[in-house]
Amino acid sequence: MADKMTVTYHDVSIEYREDNDRWYYELDGRERSAESLANAKKAIDATPKPKKTFKPFQAYLLRYGAELQVVTVTSQASETDSWDNSFDFWVTIEGKRRKESGRRLYCINDKNDGLMAESAALDKEIKRLTAQREAVLKKLEHIAALEAEAS
């Protein structure tokens, strides 16, 4: 029989040493031992997993047909969305918490600030052109006007 036998469990190498009939493994930077392989696995499973840290940050929220808002992104809500592998995030808007798609959230930076300003200018132009178009359409003659001339 060999002096040592090694097993890997959840990326942790567990080594059996026949000379003292114990299982040795390293966990959290410290060498540990157990009387059985099952006990070593239980100890590995019981070790708390490091929490993912998420530092809240501000972002633009742009929803179709709504005004641009600055929100605080507080955490990631889901791993991925169903069709495009984007993430959902928890955001705070005016003190209220809600889930938003990452597809609607944009970085606040100089590049996006310029693009958002350009977009706002285009929105104003659209409103101006729409009003101008409506004024032109109001000048169109209706069929009723032709009927009045014929009589």
Do 67 and 96 belong together in one domain? yes
CB atoms within 10 A of CB 71: 19
Do 102 and 137 belong together in one domain? no
CB atoms within 10 A of CB 16: 18
Q: How many domains are contained in the chain? A: 3
Q: Which residue type occupies 149? A: E
Q: How far apart are CA 27 and CA 41, in angstroms?
A: 11
Domain assignment of residue 15, yes or no? yes
Do 100 and 117 belong together in one domain? no
Q: How far apart are CA 80 and CA 146, in angstroms?
A: 61
Domain assignment of residue 123, yes or no? yes
Residues 124, 130 contacting (CB under 8 angstroms)? no
Do 96 and 68 belong together in one domain? yes
Q: Which residue type occupies 138? A: K
Domain assignment of residue 148, yes or no? no
List, for residues 98-147, the tens digit of each pLDDT value: 999 888 999 999 999 999 899 889 989 999 999 999 999 999 988 876 77
Domain assignment of residue 102, yes or no? yes
List, for residues 7-37, the tens digit of each pLDDT value: 999 889 999 999 899 999 998 889 999 999 9
Written as six digits, the tokens of 94 are 């005016």
Domain assignment of residue 135, yes or no? yes
Domain assignment of residue 151, yes or no? no
Closest CA to 94 of 61, 53, 55, 54: 61
Domain assignment of residue 52, yes or no? no
Domain range for 99 is 57-107
Domain assignment of residue 51, yes or no? no
